[in-house]
A and B are shown apart, each in its own frame.
Chain A
Amino acid sequence: MRVLKDESFFRAVCLKTVWVLVLATFALWFCIAPPVWAECEELYTFTGEAAGDVFGYSVSEAGDVDADGYDDLIVGAPYNDAGGINAGRAYVYSGLTGDTLYTFTGEAAGDWFGRSVSRAGDVEGDGYSDLIVGARYNDAGGTDAGRAYVYSGHTGNLIYTFTGEAVDDHFGFSVSGAGDVDDDGYDDLIVGADYNDAGGTDAGRAYVYSGQTGNLIYTFTGEAAEDRFGLTVSRAGDVDGDGYSDLIVGARNNNAGGTNAGRAYVYSGQTGGLLYTFTGEAAGDYFGISVSGAGDVDGDGYKDLVVGAGWNDAGGTDAGRAYVYSGQTGGLLYTFTGEAAGDYFGISVSGAGDVDGDGYKDLIVGAGWNDAGGTHAGRAYVYSGQTGNLSLRFHRRG
């Protein structure tokens, strides 16, 4: 009995020790638990050719330019000097290899070719994705009338040249593939001329061209002088579900919501009619400094929209903001706000496609003056379309 009692006493002490050890181990694990990190892989880094090129001033998906099954990329360097001082250049890179597929060069010094670049979609109907590049200061249509160039993805040859209407129009300040606006099976194009004077001095204008013929399909004009309508243009996707691709145009200096509150306009591809007008929250927000189709963010079958307001003050003076709107209703789905004053969050926005594979399109927003990596090092953020915030806990380890 005594022996047994001793044994049970010993067992109890032993168990206690084990428990203390286990708890200590657990406590230790709480303290030194490994952080959960998931990184996006940096696939490629492309670097400007020479000092002062400002390569990366514009970037865009290019679509599958070489029809190898992998999407390609286009980057603009408007101050490149290969074609003359600040003639500018645009570079097309293979998604599969990272190699340069094409280099397009501005016609003349000071053209700023590559100020804007975009996937053009399949303009030729040959199964290769084509490209569009703007040169806002080109002088072919008069001093700074501007120009836009459409290149074949298959051959790299120039398909179309569109030229600004008048001196100082800055046509080509913005360019974008428009999607198939007229449902003829060929993708169409949109070009902005934010200093065009048709609607008043610098009211601005945007032009939609047929990919099949190069003919003008629509002209949209700014509401009032100084609106700078057409400073930004983008394909919107099929916003209203009628089977035609729609369009979005920004006018960052529009005064409807206060001086320079800014505005963005969504147009029907089928009719050219205005579907929605979105207005900046407050004076000086410059809402519309960036616009983009967002893809179907909320999974309702209609393409949605994203607009940036880089000077919005909700997160601090000029912290900036971005807004996501439902294509089906025009209602506000999400608002994303810059981290700190002076970040200019929303200076760039874009649909990102389905980054996290949850079946909903995601979004990317740039804050070029964020200081997290050093003064004005800048930052870019990816948001879940499904939830507007974190659905999967990912960070990028620096």
Chain B
Amino acid sequence: MSIPVRPETFLYAFTGEAEEDNFGVSVSGAGDVDGDGYSDLIVGAEGNDAGGTSAGRAYVYSCPGPYVCGDVNADTEISVSDVIYLINYLFKGGPPPQCPPAPYLSCADANGDGSISVSDVIYLINYLFKGGPLPVC
């Protein structure tokens, strides 16, 4: 159930649990089910067998809210403290990036290559001190 397929084209993809589940045969916005201020989602899988053959199932999802790309320590701005925070995380066992809501790590992927590494540290330094491009998480 991992999802490496064309991630550049969608925000999220959810995948059915098993063969012939027909997950996605029905979809809808769900409103704000959990009261986190962001809209949630509901997806039907009419052929799911968890409750018996083709008993069917529906799934409700809540997704993480917005963040500032590069704001690794979640103080609402990109500064040298984010660089220090990220170095501390990568090399000294420091706490993980605080992309809200934790533990989502995307805000630390400053160069947008799909992983967090020293290249993100360099990218942030370049942005902050050398007029480099904006972080592109």
Give the interface of A toward B (CB within 8 A). Answer: 25-26, 29-30, 33-64, 69-73, 75, 77, 79, 95-96, 119, 295, 336, 339, 347-358, 362, 364-370, 372-384, 389-398
Contact = CB atoms under 8 A, between A and B. Distances in A.
Interface residues of B, number: 82
A42 B1 CA distance: 14
B33 interface: yes
Please list the 4 inter-chain residue pairs (A to B) with the smallest Cβ-Cβ separation, ordered nearest first.
A398-B1, A353-B39, A71-B31, A51-B52
B56 A77 contact: yes
Interface string B8-20: 1111111111111
B131 interface: no
A381 B43 CA distance: 10
Interface in B1-39: 1-3, 5-35, 37-39
B109 A393 contact: yes
A382 B41 contact: yes
B36 to A, nearest CB: 9
Contacts of B24: 347-348, 365-368, 370, 378-380
A165 B88 CA distance: 70
Given A30-B119, A348-B24, A389-B9, A40 B31 contact: no
B70 interface: no
A47 B11 contact: no
Contacts of A41: 61-63
Interface string B36-55: 01111111111111111111
13 contacts: A52-B53, A55-B58, A56-B25, A75-B42, A77-B56, A348-B25, A350-B27, A355-B40, A366-B27, A375-B20, A394-B104, A395-B12, A397-B2
A123 B3 CA distance: 41
Nearest to B59: A45
A34 B42 contact: no
Contact of A56 (B10, B48, B52, B116): B48
Contacts of A79: 54
Given A56-B43, A393-B7, 12 more contacts: A29-B118, A33-B116, A34-B105, A40-B64, A43-B62, A48-B56, A53-B54, A54-B47, A75-B44, A353-B40, A378-B22, A381-B12
B33 A36 contact: no
Contacts of A394: 11-12, 63-64, 104, 106
Given A51-B55, A393-B7, A393-B137, A379 B118 contact: no
B109 A42 contact: no
Nearest to A390: B8
Contacts of B80: none
B25 A378 contact: yes
Given A55-B57, A362-B11, A382-B12, A47 B34 contact: no
Contacts of A352: 29, 39, 41
Given A26-B118, A356-B11, A59 B63 contact: no
A367 B112 CA distance: 27
A370 B18 CA distance: 11
B66 interface: yes
A62 B40 CA distance: 12
B45 to A, nearest CB: 5
Contact of A48 (B19, B31, B39, B57): B57
